[in-house]
């Protein structure tokens, strides 16, 4: 299917749409979809707009993708993972995973991106290439910002969305220009962090996984992910802790230790700096599903 109208349908399969929130701004559209009863889903689109897809809920565990008819492989995705397909690219394939899931689709007119980044000497910037499954905290936060504006009718919403959009595409271009340490060494460093958040990993260990020297690894890591490795590890631990706080009744101290924090006070202080509230306050905003 070719996507040019206001009703993007990225994933086709037997399921029930729980909710759908959409909003359009100047040459930009955001679509937040929550569904249940998912099994195998198929994708077959060619969009006239750039597509940024944020996995909001549910793991995508297996599948196969093709870009312009060529095998693009498949990277398992967790909530927070991002896909990017430039305008004009054909994206086809299938995936399967969690039965309940949600995604945020952001569709942007290429001309709008050119306007937003006009001050950045576009002729010197790299072209955009597809990336079907990566994690980037800068793009993640900007995409979440756009998602939050879907229901907000504040007159300043359009200005905020333009700012978030410029951030997303500036970071996408920076990822193209500065190859990530994880690209040279595959996803090994990030995968190693995720596999055991309680591990006290050294920079040397992570650099060796990426096949780089420590200085080169740190520089490439910051350029690509927008933060040093230590800050990234803390963020990962906090994201894992959020899952426990939302979906379990585990004591805060147990959550702290299981996510790699040395004590509940260390966890609380780090959580407050990153999230803006204490773990207890954060848990209070979600109904416990234990």
Task: List residues bridging with 32 in a β-sheet.
Answer: 21, 104
CA distance linking residue 82 with residue 158, whole number of Å: 23
Count Cβ atoms below 10 Å from residue 289 Cβ, excluding itself: 8
Task: Give the H or E element holding residue 77.
Answer: none
Confidence (pLDDT) at 286: 67
d(CA 115, CA 181): 30
pLDDT in the model for residue 11? 60
Rounded Cα distance between 97 and 231, Å, is 29
Q: Classify domain 2-177 by CATH number.
A: 2.60.120.10
Six token digits for residue 6:
């206001």
Q: Which residues does 44 contact at the CB level (< 8 Å), separation at least 6? A: 1, 12, 91, 92
Domain range list for the chain = 2-177, 182-284
pLDDT tens for the 290 residues of the chain, in order: 333 333 445 665 566 677 888 999 988 999 998 888 877 788 888 888 999 999 999 888 888 888 888 887 777 788 998 999 999 888 888 888 888 888 999 999 988 888 877 654 444 455 788 888 888 888 998 999 999 999 887 778 888 899 899 999 988 887 765 444 444 444 577 778 878 888 888 888 888 888 878 888 887 777 666 778 888 899 889 988 988 888 888 899 999 999 999 899 999 999 988 888 899 988 887 655 44
Nearest-angstrom CA–CA distance, 221 and 180: 6
User: CA 245 to CA 283: how far, in whole Å?
Assistant: 5
Q: Which two tokens stand for residue 92?
A: 């086809």
Q: Domain 182-284 classified CATH 1.10.10.60?
A: yes
């Amino acid at each position: 299917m070719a996507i040019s109208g206001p009703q993007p349908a990225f994933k086709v399969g037997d399921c029930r749409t729980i909710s759908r929130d959409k909003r359009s701004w100047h040459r930009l559209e955001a679509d937040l979809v929550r569904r249940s009863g998912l099994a195998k889903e198929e994708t077959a689109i060619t969009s006239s707009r750039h597509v940024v897809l944020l996995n909001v809920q549910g793991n995508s565990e297996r599948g196969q993708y093709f870009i312009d008819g060529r095998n693009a492989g498949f990277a398992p995705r967790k909530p927070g993972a991002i896909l990017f397909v430039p305008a004009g690219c054909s994206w086809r394939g299938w995936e399967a995973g969690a039965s309940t899931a949600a995604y945020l689709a952001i569709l942007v007119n290429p001309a709008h991106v050119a306007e937003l980044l006009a001050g950045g000497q576009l002729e010197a910037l790299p072209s955009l290439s597809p990336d079907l499954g990566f994690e980037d905290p800068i793009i993640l936060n900007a995409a979440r910002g756009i998602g939050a504006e879907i229901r907000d009718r504040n007159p300043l919403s359009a200005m905020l969305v333009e700012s978030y959009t410029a951030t997303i595409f500036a970071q996408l271009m920076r990822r193209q220009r500065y190859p990530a340490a994880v690209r040279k060494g595959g996803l090994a460093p990030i995968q190693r962090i995720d596999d055991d958040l309680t591990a006290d990993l050294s920079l040397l260990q992570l650099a060796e996984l990426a096949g780089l020297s420590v200085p080169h690894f740190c520089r490439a890591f910051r350029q690509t992910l927008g933060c040093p490795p230590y800050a990234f590890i803390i963020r990962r631990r906090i994201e894992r802790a959020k899952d426990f706080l939302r979906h379990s009744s585990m004591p805060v101290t147990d959550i702290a230790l299981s996510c790699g924090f040395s004590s509940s006070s260390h966890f609380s202080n780090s959580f407050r700096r990153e999230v803006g509230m204490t773990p207890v306050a954060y848990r209070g905003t979600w109904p416990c599903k234990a």
